[in-house]
Structure 1
Amino acid sequence: MKASGSELGWLTWPSEQGDKRGWEVAQKTLNGSQFYSYSVCNVGEREQDNWLRTTFIQRRPSASRVMVELQFVVRDCNSFDGASLTCKETFNMYTSEADADVGTTFRKGQFKKVTTIAPDEITRKNLQPVNTETRVVDGLSLKGFYLAFQDIGACVAILSVRVYYKTCPATVKSLASFPETVAGSQALSKVDGVCMENAVSEKVPRIYCTMDGEWVVPVSQCQCKPGYEEIKEVCQECQPGYFKAAVPSEKCELCPANTQGTGYGDAACPCTPGFYRAEDDPPTGPCSGLPGAPQDLQATTQLSSGRVLLTWSPPGDTGGRADLTYSVECRRCDGAACQACGEKVRYEPASTGLTETRVSVSQLDAHLNYTFTVNAHNGVSAAASKASPRAHGPPSTAALTTSLQYTGEGVWGGGTTVGFQTGGPGTALGHLICIWGTLDDNLNMTTYTVLVLDRTSVRVSDLAPATTYLFRVQPITEGGAGGASIEDEFKTLADGNTNFPACFELKQLKPLKTYVDPHTYEDPNTAVLKFASEIHPNHITKQKVIGAGEFGEVFRGILRAPGRTEGPVAIKTLKPGYSEKQRQDFLSEASIMGQFSHQNIIRLEGVVTKFKHAMIVTEYMENGALDKYLRDHDGEIPSIQLVGMLRGISGGMKYLSDMSYVHRDLAARNILVNTNLECKVSDFGLSRVLEDDPEGTYTTSGGKIPIRWTAPEAIAYRKFTSASDVWSFGIVMWEVMAFGERPYWDMSNHEVMKAINEAFRLPAPMDCPSAVYQLMLQCWLQERAKRPRFPDIVSLLDKLLRSPDSLKTIADFDPRVSIRLPSTSGSDGSPFRSVSEWLESIKMSQYSENFACAGMVTMEQVLHMRNEDIKNIGVRLPGHLKRIAYSILGLKDQTSTLSVFAM
């Protein structure tokens, strides 16, 4: 009425009351303002029944629930003399539905009561408080409705009636658009949406509208399709040079190394000319080049019967791959005619598929010239040949040749005639130490001779018959004797002859860099400057926090430094308020990392030390820590790929052991994984491990030790060596094959130490190849001298990867131990109360709904399930299927409900 300046034409009843007055329009001054109102005040009359009905209110079809907001004043009955018996301070609200306006027709029987309206405050003296009350009218279904207000003897004025309904507004959430939706009478109303342009979803996107007009609980979110990324709720094309291969990925990624984009919206980046992907390389990974030529090919005589030892060094350029192999070709020349050596010549171990840089050749004929060609191959050699056989020729890119002539004369031993003359290339090194001596039955050197040489060969004479000798050669570096050594073992024959060459060729030996402990520097800042490059902070852009360390937060960011390729990096920061010692401890890890350069060791990009906020910048590993990645992809990665990941880790550890560096904290949590599933060793600060996990470390006078990963001699005597790192690598192998399971499960540290000392070893993980588990057990031998070395581990894993059939034999698996199930009971020994509780105990709670929908609601029903039953309820991933099946097997075995589980 305030807006129209007149009454609204509402109907009053009864219309004729004689001297009595019902509802009527009045204009009043209330609290200093003019108001129109419908009012009634017959407090002194008995049996009042005055009705005020609105005009017809048309309803939006979907609005079944409306809100009625009333503003009104009610006078205090005590202010009327003698009316206390008839006066009321409340009135009633009614509603009536209709499909059409009934005009002035009014029948009380058509109305139903909604509520009684009572004021919070009543009018006293000069104070006239305005009450506001909101009521709900629910269950409306016809085209419109009326509201009516019944007075039964109150003095009341209605100032405002506001009728409205609530809606959830049109919105876009998770790349799905949802229409404006009228809030219903249910707590949650289901609303289907539509994926936005260039977005897709496996299921129809869905959200719920509450009674209060709010959106909640989005389900089945949309994601940008390949070639598009989400930017401000819109799927935009990947920019040139970037790609997105799969729907679940969030952002477009920079095209990997040696690839090129085709334009906007790339779902993949093809290889640039001259680079290739192997058949088993992921299409999202980098492309690789062909390897260069093997280096330093040399031939050394071994036996008077015509045996030759060919040795060489890997090519300087491996094409960016670790799967190098070699092949050897032999040609013999009689005068001017040359031909292939044929099947007579024998190669040990083989002439093709070699992973070691050596091969022994025998069955050579005398008085002929032999030419040996060594070819290098890698995983993309076959792909290169298919792509352009004429352009690239044979699978290898280069070969090195050495020629030999066998005289057929001479006898080894006693320092007599050399039977071969070598014309192969080679460059003499600096000084070398050559040590040889005899070995006893326990392979201990009993006598030895030491020579310091300035040449690459030595003649050995006056050797005892039927005696085993060990030769070891080391280079002399600036810091003294160190680096890698060449070691070989030979035994002389009973007649005084020997089965090793009189000349021990050393041309393939290269001095290796050794690790320098930064704590030996008087000024730790000097070590940082020596081993790490300084980066200006203006060249670093932080993007988002991806973790937290002891010293501060870890960010994902971008490095844009002059002379470097722009790319993502991880940025470790030092939190404010640090002490100088904390700063030195923080930067010491950079001093260690800066000394390493290997594809399976995390790469240090540089440090920020000359500004207030110190930082360590490393390469960015997209998939984060290995243990978490494995848990997130439980059962999704085949065994051969897991073994490939272990091969990468062992390669990094071989490099560290060759540099005389002991890691001391090798664990899956300290291995980082990139998008190519390439694993890199990280975290070179043992003093900072597991500070927030008291059960993860064992405190001794010398600091904290990660008990579950540490060799017994290191726990007992703090004897850390490469052999103790090998023990830790065995635990890492178990973590990988068990998809991130916690070693020794919920056992305490003291229980773990006691079990190990009593010869307990972790059981084989589910589906673990027998050969891999046997290597684990070798790594966990009590005597450290009997454990394999990292070169041995690398060699064995390479052999397994070259022979996938060797991974088909599965180690024995005991679900009662390996999954740590307390049969049909929970951790406290009481029976599982539900199927959901059981699934949670084996980390398969994501299938709770599948079991419920299939009617599997009791543990008794679960125990009768077969493998096909598990598949039929929607468990498809092989690892998940087997975990559930093996768990049921363990439950059956312990409860003896069935003796055989049909798999």
Structure 2
Amino acid sequence: MELRPLISVLFVFIHQLAFSLQSKEQVLLDMRASGSELGWLTLPYENGWEIVQTVVNGSLFYTYSVCSIDSTEQENWLRTTFIQRRPGTSRVSVELRFVVRDCNSFDGASVACKETFNLFISEADADVGTNFRKGQFRKVATIAPDEVTKGRELKVNTETRIVGPMSKEGFYLAFQDMGTCVALLSVRVYYKSCPSTVQSLAAFPETVADALTVVEGACVENAVSQATPRIYCTAEGEWVVPVGQCQCLSGYETTGESCQACKPGYFKPYASSELCQVCPDNTRPSSTGATECQCEEGFFRSPSDPPTSPCSAPPSAPRELTSTTLSADGRLQLSWSPPLVTGGRRHTGLRDATVVVSDLDSHLNYTFTVEAHSGVSQYGTDRPTATITTALDYTDPPKVTLIHLDDRSPTSLSLSWTLSRRPPVHINHRYELMYRRKDDDGERDVTTYTVVISDKSSVQINDLTPNTTYTFRVQALSPEGNPGSYSTEHEFHTSPIAESQVQGNSTMVMGAVVGVAVILLVVVAVLLLRKRRLRSHVRGGPEDPYFSTDQLKPLKTYIDPHMYEDPNIAIQKFVTEIDPTAISKQKVIGVGEFGEVFWGVMKPHGRPEVPVAIKTLKLGYSEKQRQDFLSEASIMGQFSHPNIIRLEGVVTKFKHAMIVTEYMENGALDIYLKDRDGELPSYQLVGMLRGIAAGMKYLSDMNYVHRDLAARNVLVNSNLECKVSDFGLSRVLEDDAEGTYTTRGGKIPIRWTAPEAIAFRKFTSASDVWSFGIVMWEVMAFGERPYWDMSNHEVMKAINEAFRLPAPMDCPSAIYQLMFQCWQHDRSTRPRFSDIVNILDKLLRNPESLKTIADFDPRVSIRLPSTSHCDGPLFGSVPEWLESIKMSQYYESFTRAGITTMEQVLSLRHEDIRNIGVRLPGHMKRIAYSILGLKDEISSLSVFSV
């Protein structure tokens, strides 16, 4: 076939092509930038790939073309020169820019025409020169154009493939043509690296971006860090999540990404991220790089003062110290005026200029000293004190204020009393006690008062009448015998003769009453337990694990933590603070937005240790980052449900903030299912869905919208219980009529989001129901990506055109019908989560209802490549077919069994697939369904041709 139609168009294109060589990648091979003979090998040598040379703006450009479509037996190879692999790179990116002619444009001469070609690779430790053997190459991919060229309007395709892992010194790339009219415009081989950088005063070296890698750095000059600074290099060549922050030493401050010495007149006392400060008052100007500013002469700092505080002078003495007797009960008031000179500091201790002193004795001299203390008083030459000597001069005895009953018997009473003031040690007071019997009718007894004189403030009165009331009053007597004022009268009653016996009988009666009450409580508890078991039996029985954890409807409504003016109030209200010594981090299991995620153990006081997941906040965080980090805990702390991830608590009163949750041993649901494709029965999958639905019903009942419900945000524990997690995107329902929340922008997970939420940024529980339908599809498809490799734009367009995901393989028809209900375009017609839980409960109670399987279309579900431009077989080879259904790992098994052509594949039966070596049920079904789909499509094409 003549190459001129393609080459002439190609020249026009080269003159018009604007190709930028500027990129961040580390290029190993660039076909367009070479500007000289490439030296690539072709096989066969003369017929097949041809090199085309043209001059653009004075520069030579080379391209390779092939257009052998007039023969059915075509196999044309093009091999690059040896490409040296850089140390540390195990994967490289291969970017191809090419043009493919439409087979229909050759006017009937396209019997063997194809519109795809193949990419191969061969590793080697040294350049093998012209030794080109096809058997040394393994296939990387089949390259198909997105658009084919018709006429002179070129359609340039760009395809990038990741090649690896590789372990040898270098490699060759090869391109296999099986009958395609193609021009290879550009081949660029590169790998990405994270460039050397300085972040948070830590320098990190250039690092090959092969996978998510932690890189250790070093603090810049004059900076230190408590821990070795680290940062993660992603596979895309980006630095993310720096951990550990360097801080400038004392005497240095941050300037950009370096530490500069403090200017004269400034200082910094500690290693921190703070800037240098101006020297405080009463200090000498500092020199360059100062860590503190010295006090001026006559000014001082207290030993407890920080270096940032100003210096001050000692105060003068208090003035005008006077005393005033307040009463005859031993109280004295001292008053003074403040010092004239304070020295620039506040006084410590007593700050009021008055004080009342009590419990003083009369006839004694007291000396009082008032001293001004300001923290630097000790540095003065004289003590700043004021002194006064005074005495309380009173002779009245103290008053008895209260009489106490200490003990009683049928014939005696033991009494004591308290005084209005403490008696002086050198004065001996006596006490006069008067008592009489009080008649039952309340009239005064005909007998006179009995008087008792005591040297102590207590007395025992004997020879009294049993079960009788007596009145008492007491007065104090001075040493000269002068009486004070009497106390008020107090009444006390002697005990009856049989009181002890009566008390014993009362105890027995009370014991009997308590015993009867306990018996009644036991009976009621037994009846309630029996009633509850009967209800449980009717509902499904304890043998059914899916119906043993139903919860009552929440009695509370979710409160958005952002409604609090101070976010710390929400933390204190909803979250338990954990002692950091109870937490032990064991192993890094992930990287979050704010820092690393650890698996560890928590050992609460008095309880056994439990495994936990620990989210950490990286060092050097801002206050806003801390609040954003803890806001998820404020949300989780309001939830209590067996299908919602449980928050154990937080650590906030420590420099390393942490969020501690229960540990889910099996990790994220999507990854768990991918690793067990085809191994779990439908009944178990539906049970897992029921748990997720129960958790979402709980959130919906609390007026709470999740917004990011997906299998990746559902965790699985060792008992295969599913729990909803990741509340970072969630928001509360507003109080408007529709109960919606309008976002302020940001990314939306398109494949899981309802149409109205994508179009209008409106989120409701109904949009969460749409997302739950996608989760149902993920679970039944064992973690398959929703909408496969379609772009987000294609997904939105397809949904708006009423396309819905097809039923996964072996999906029960009832489950797919429920999915379809969740995907109703009108959100008002979607089921509620309470309806979904009820439907799943009925299906689980009747496992027979899960045996009817929904119709399965393998052409849609497996996403076979388009065959619209091919008149030949659907696939040119067995490897190409296996790659399309993601089963390339069985290529050698098919080869050993002698299955090397697609005709042989189409004749395989179920038992043949097992004999080849395919053992996993999910893989057997995928291959079998793909063969059925191929037969069906061939039949459709045959009918179309007829």
Which bin holds the TM-score, normalised by the shorter protein?
A: 0.3 to 0.5
Greater helix share, structure number:
2
Q: Normalising by the residue count of structure 1, what TM-score does the alignment of the two structures yield? A: 0.42
Q: Normalising by the residue count of structure 2, what TM-score does the alignment of the two structures yield? A: 0.40
Larger Rg: 2
